[in-house]
């Protein structure tokens, strides 16, 4: 639970400077996306997928020309990490750049009604472009530093990173 507190403290530190700018200067984007994920190492457990697709609900706030703050809710299929239910992963990113961007993020997994002990950290690089007025498309790649304790209720701790490739469409409002 201490790690979860650290995650929320970091998210608040990111959001605080952004809240000080005038509302008219800040741009907001809301969207949906899909992501393909693949574990870097082989997981030696049955009933645990090592790749697949997930859905993402995404919100971005752009308080400055080169700075974006993004908050996502990723939803994985029922068999992700051996879970019997859908796994959700709230996450937050600090992104720098326009068009081509890079950033850092953190998040955690909520699986089978419990929060995974260790949050994940992520590196992201991407390309965002305006397709039509107020409609943006975003292609991204993430490298997540993942650790799972008691994966699939097997008593096994798994330390494998995950690579993701994603696409999102966002509307500016």
Domain chopping of the chain, boundaries: 2-172
**CA 93 and chain centroid, separation:** 7
Do the Cβ atoms of 111 and 81 come closer than 8 Å? yes
User: Is the sign of the CA dihedral 153, 55, 128, 40 positive or negative?
Assistant: positive
- Burial degree of 113 (CB within 10 A; 0-12, 13-18, 19+): exposed
**How far is CA 146 from each of CA 18, 46, 66, 72, 154, rounded to the nearest angstrom?**
28, 19, 28, 17, 17
Q: Does domain 2-172 have CATH number 2.40.160.20?
A: yes
Measured CA to CA, the distance from residue 71 to residue 69 in angstroms comes to 7
pLDDT at 85: 79
Please state, as a whole number, how many other Cβ atoms lie within 10 Å of the Cβ of residue 101.
Answer: 20
Each of the 173 residues of the chain gets a pLDDT tens digit; together they read 455 545 555 555 555 554 444 546 899 999 999 999 888 765 555 556 677 899 999 999 999 999 999 999 999 876 676 677 788 999 999 999 999 999 999 999 888 778 877 899 999 999 999 999 999 999 999 999 987 655 545 555 566 788 999 999 999 99
Measured CA to CA, the distance from residue 147 to residue 42 in angstroms comes to 13
pLDDT at 164: 94
Residue holding tokens 């943006």? 136
């Amino acid at each position: 639970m201490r790690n979860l507190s650290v995650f929320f403290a970091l998210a608040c530190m990111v959001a605080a400077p952004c809240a000080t700018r005038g509302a008219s200067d800040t741009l907001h984007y809301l969207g949906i996306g899909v992501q393909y994920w693949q574990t870097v190492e082989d997981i030696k457990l049955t009933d645990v997928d090592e790749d697949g697709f997930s859905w993402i609900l995404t919100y971005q706030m752009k308080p400055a020309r080169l700075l974006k703050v993004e908050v996502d809710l990723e939803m994985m299929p029922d068999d992700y990490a051996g879970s019997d239910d859908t796994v959700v992963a709230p996450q937050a990113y600090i992104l720098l750049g326009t068009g081509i961007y890079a950033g850092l993020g953190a998040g955690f997994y909520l699986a089978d009604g419990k929060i995974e002990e260790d949050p994940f950290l992520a590196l992201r690089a991407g390309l965002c472009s305006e397709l039509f007025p107020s409609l943006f498309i975003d292609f991204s790649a993430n490298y997540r530093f993942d650790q799972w304790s008691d994966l699939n209720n097997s008593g096994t701790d798994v330390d494998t990173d995950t690579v993701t490739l994603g696409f999102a469409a966002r509307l500016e409002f």
